[in-house]
Amino acid sequence: MTFATPNLVPVYPEIFLLVALSAILIADLFVSETHRFLTYAYTQLALVGTAGFLVLGATGVPLTTFGGMFVDDPMARTLKLVAVLAVALMLAYSRSYNQQRGLFRGEFHVLILFALLGIMVMVSANHFLVLYLGLELLSLSMCALIALQRDSAQSTEAAMKYFVLAALASGLLLYGLSMLYGATGSLQMALVSNSILSGSADPAILVFGLVFVVAGLAFKLGVVPFHMWVPDVYEGAPTAVTLFVSTAPKIAAFAFFMRLLVGALGSLVSDWQSMLVIVSVLSMLVGNVTAIAQTNIKRMLAYSTISHMGFLLLGILSGSLGGYAAAMFYVVAYVLMSLGAFGVILLLGREGFEADQLDDFKGLNKRNPWVAFMMLLIMISMAGVPVSVGFFAKLSVLSAVLDAGMTWLVVVAVLMSLIGAFYYLRVIKLMYMDEPEDTTPIVAEADHRILIGLNALAILVLGILPQPLIDLCLASITQSMRG
Amino acid sequence: MIDFPILIFSAFALVLLAAGVGVITARNPVHAALFLVLAFFTGSGLWLMLEAEFLAIALVLVYVGAVMVLFLFVVMMLNIDLDRLREGFWKHLPLGAGVALLMVAEMLLVVTSKQFSTLGSSLPPSPGNISNTRELGLVLYTDYVYPFELAAVILLVAIVAAIALTLRRRKDSKHLDPAWQVRVRASDRIRIVSMRSEKDQ
């Protein structure tokens, strides 16, 4: 038996992150409560190091290692970089929130890094087993994070719901994957794809497995009819964790769809396309309509996430490289907007007070015009108004669907986003036209205010000059999905 | 004349079935857990007969050794109200019976179908002197080292999460800090007040 040592160079970012987080886990034991800031600084350093490895190690060509279980391609590099950036921003936004609520602990930072590792593993997975392990790594870390505020009954309830439903979704997914394994005889994505192309796999078993796989994926992405956990988790989790749940894992879910549906099951496109159409239309409908009735802004943003994920699926279901690139652009834009929206909620909160009701935004312009303007930019971007990145994200996804010849779907999507514009604009109306109910001055750390500003500015700049990001997404997708 | 393997198989299978029935009919949860242990043991015996010795050992070590012991601990520590568990048995019986019948029907459909008939034929002969524990070990630490390490990371997450969610420093615990005790000075404990003597007055 011979065994060649695998090429570890493409895996350097993951290895560095794992080593760094283990070091932080140990170092945190020796940091006293008053110097907890050090743990935060180490965590940010670990993220900078990981980003460095990601940028410096980029080769521009797809590489596989560990016997084809791990794939490193431009799409993976770009998505991992966005995930690392999102986590770094999320930690910066949530620092003072956590300090005020006793969540500024070593475990919080370590669990976030574990979840990021899970995301990176999923993004680079080229084997069903690895994909599943990455998913569990992410799910378990997220579950612990949601429950971290353990004296809050609402957090515990949300974590319990998430845990049970995530286990159910994993079960569905594994059942589907076992069917695919039974039909094709392999767990390796490339071999599965070849086996389907050669026609040796039984199509009935393949489609049977596909139904379960799509259901499991839809659960993880949080789209209708598997969306029940999203609003409860968003509302119940501490806002800092909600911010995490709504950003980086969406990148992993996008990569999950790409690797599994496009990479391994690409030749079954006509089968999964029709399933995704149903899921996508229902998500846009239920998400946008239910969001109108919410009074809690975290819940409202949860339903808005559901509708955004429905939009994201439009890009994937169009089944073309342009569509996949549009979906990737959408997920990056969505992560930026969601970071900003929850960043503002965190900024407005203070000790013993969560700014999680819509009424808390009343008259924000009179209390702090700068923050109100940032929220305005984020909201118009989520609604998809021109000169914001959200507009181009929706536009590119819709043009991909139009190219695929599904005009009715474009009409439905535009109608849905018109409905959606109502509740985004309501937030703006509350901020600018209503009198403030609460006149406590808004205090925030300088880094938080500057980063929110940069975040909203990025939304504006990418809305005016979206071309570089669109080109980057298109290049990543074409170089990665060519083979 | 029945040959010896079939005799052993029948013995194990019968004990397994009896233990399985015992798990769901035992009135005492501790007995039910012990029946489950018996079911695991006989199940691993069946796996041994299939020459899957690694699976058999793992079943005994992991399920009997760790999972069931923990389970017994929990069952013994929690004071489970048996009468409440039995409540509503007759109310739920029709639904339960319906689900059970459906499952039996589905199993019959699968077992009697054409695809399943290949399993009835004889297994391919074993290539002889091969230890599947050794073979598993060889690929586990070489070809599958990446998933193996990931599984280890997941266990680490489980440890971190379990400690983060359950460890509480009790504020009311009366523990003593020896270092603090040693450093104590007289001025911490007694206050010397100068008072005039009152005797002369």
> Which residue in the set B144, B154, B161 is minimally distant from A111, CB to CB?
B161
Residue of chain B whose alpha carbon sits nearest to that of A120: B150
Average per-residue pLDDT for chain A: 91
Task: Identify which has the larger pLDDT, B113 or A266.
Answer: A266
> Quick one: how far is CA A401 from the chain centroid?
22
Tell which of B130, B153, B166, B169 to mutate to test the A interface (max A CBs under 10 Å). B153
Indicate whether this complex's ipTM tops 0.85.
Answer: yes
Residue B164, pLDDT above cutoff 60: yes
For chain B, say whether A69 makes contact (Cβ under 8 Å).
Answer: yes
For residue A455, the distance in angstroms to the closest alpha carbon of chain B comes to 31
Residue A52, pLDDT above cutoff 80: yes
Residue of chain B whose alpha carbon sits nearest to that of A7: B146
For chain A, say whether B153 makes contact (Cβ under 8 Å).
Answer: yes
Provide the greatest CA pair distance for chain A.
76
Instruction: State mean pLDDT over B2-11.
Output: 86
The answer to whether the CB atoms of A105 and B138 lie below 8 A apart is no
Look at residue A290 in the predicted model and tell me its pLDDT: 92
Look at residue A297 in the predicted model and tell me its pLDDT: 92
Residue A482, pLDDT above cutoff 80: no
Residue B82, pLDDT above cutoff 70: no
> Which residue in the set A18, A107, A150 is minimally distant from B153, CB to CB?
A18
**Residue A63 host element (H or E):** strand A63-65
> Which residue in the set A3, A25, A130 is minimally distant from B146, CB to CB?
A130
pLDDT in tens, A395-410: 999 999 999 988 999 9
The answer to whether the CB atoms of B161 and A130 lie below 8 A apart is no
3-state SS assignment for residue A188: strand
8 A C-beta contact, residue B92 and residue B54 = no
Tell which of B157, B165, B170 to mutate to test the A interface (max A CBs under 10 Å). B157
> Long-range contacts of range B81-89, CB-CB < 8 Å, 24 or more positions apart?
B82/B27, B82/B28, B82/B29
Q: Tell me the chain B residues in contact with residue A66 when contact means C-beta distances shorter than 8 Å.
A: 145-146
What whole-number distance in Å separates Cα of residue A250 and Cα of residue B140?
31
The phi, psi pair for A34, rounded to 5°, reads: -75, -20
The answer to whether the CB atoms of A127 and B147 lie below 8 A apart is yes
The answer to whether the CB atoms of B138 and A133 lie below 8 A apart is no
Look at residue A3 in the predicted model and tell me its pLDDT: 76
What whole-number distance in Å separates Cα of residue A317 and Cα of residue A413?
13
Q: How many CB atoms lie within 10 A of CB B156?
A: 17
The answer to whether the CB atoms of A111 and B158 lie below 8 A apart is no
Instruction: State mean pLDDT over A70-88.
Output: 94
> Which residue in the set B146, B154, B164 is minimally distant from A69, CB to CB?
B146
8 A C-beta contact, residue A262 and residue A481 = yes
Look at residue A7 in the predicted model and tell me its pLDDT: 87
Could you tell me which of A333, A331, A284 has the C-alpha nearest to residue A312? Answer: A331
Residue B115, pLDDT above cutoff 70: no
Query: Which single residue is written with the structure tokens 């090429």?
Result: A7
> What's the predicted TM-score (pTM) here?
0.87
Q: How many CB atoms lie within 10 A of CB B122?
A: 5
For chain B, say whether A67 makes contact (Cβ under 8 Å).
Answer: yes
Residue A152, pLDDT above cutoff 60: yes
Q: Tell me the chain A residues in contact with residue B161 when contact means C-beta distances shorter than 8 Å.
A: 107, 111, 140-141, 143-144
Look at residue B139 in the predicted model and tell me its pLDDT: 87
Q: Tell me the chain A residues in contact with residue B118 when contact means C-beta distances shorter than 8 Å.
A: none
Identify the band that residue A428 occupies on the pLDDT scale cut at 50, 70 and 90: very high
Task: List, in sequence order, the alpha helices (H) in A318-435.
Answer: 321-348, 364-367, 369-383, 389-403, 407-433
pLDDT in tens, A8-23: 889 999 999 999 999 9
Look at residue A334 in the predicted model and tell me its pLDDT: 95
Residue A475, pLDDT above cutoff 60: yes
pLDDT in tens, A107-147: 999 999 999 999 999 999 999 999 999 999 999 999 999 99
Identify the band that residue B124 occupies on the pLDDT scale cut at 50, 70 and 90: low
Count CB pairs under 8 A between chains A and B: 61
For chain B, say whether A25 makes contact (Cβ under 8 Å).
Answer: yes
The answer to whether the CB atoms of A105 and B160 lie below 8 A apart is no
Q: Tell me the chain B residues in contact with residue A140 when contact means C-beta distances shorter than 8 Å.
A: 154, 157-158, 161
- Tokens for A406, please give them: 């599904």
Q: Tell me the chain B residues in contact with residue A127 when contact means C-beta distances shorter than 8 Å.
A: 147
Identify the band that residue B118 occupies on the pLDDT scale cut at 50, 70 and 90: low
Look at residue B111 in the predicted model and tell me its pLDDT: 73
The answer to whether the CB atoms of A66 and B146 lie below 8 A apart is yes
Query: Which single residue is written with the structure tokens 């052993």?
Result: B8
The answer to whether the CB atoms of B138 and A114 lie below 8 A apart is no
For chain B, say whether A103 makes contact (Cβ under 8 Å).
Answer: no
Exposed/middle/buried for residue B174 (C-beta within 10 Å: 0-12, 13-18, 19+): exposed
> Which residue in the set B143, B151, B161 is minimally distant from A144, CB to CB?
B161
For residue B154, the distance in angstroms to the closest alpha carbon of chain A comes to 5
pLDDT in tens, A310-349: 999 999 999 889 999 999 999 999 999 999 999 999 998 8
The answer to whether the CB atoms of A140 and B153 lie below 8 A apart is no
3-state SS assignment for residue A125: strand
Tell which of B131, B146, B149 to mutate to test the A interface (max A CBs under 10 Å). B146
What whole-number distance in Å separates Cα of residue A47 and Cα of residue A51?
6
Touching B: A residues 243-302, CB under 8 Å: none
> Which residue in the set B143, B157, B164 is minimally distant from A140, CB to CB?
B157
Identify the band that residue B170 occupies on the pLDDT scale cut at 50, 70 and 90: low
Could you tell me which of B41, B24, B40 has the C-alpha nearest to residue B32? Answer: B24
Instruction: State mean pLDDT over A451-462.
Output: 91
For chain B, say whether A126 makes contact (Cβ under 8 Å).
Answer: no
Helix axes B29-49, B4-25, angle to 10 degrees: 160
Q: Tell me the chain B residues in contact with residue A114 when contact means C-beta distances shorter than 8 Å.
A: 153, 156-157, 160
- Which residues are CB-contacts of B110 (< 8 A; sequence separation ≥ 6)? B116
Identify the band that residue A483 occupies on the pLDDT scale cut at 50, 70 and 90: low
pLDDT in tens, A199-241: 887 888 888 889 999 999 999 888 988 888 999 999 999 999 9
For residue A137, the distance in angstroms to the closest alpha carbon of chain B comes to 5
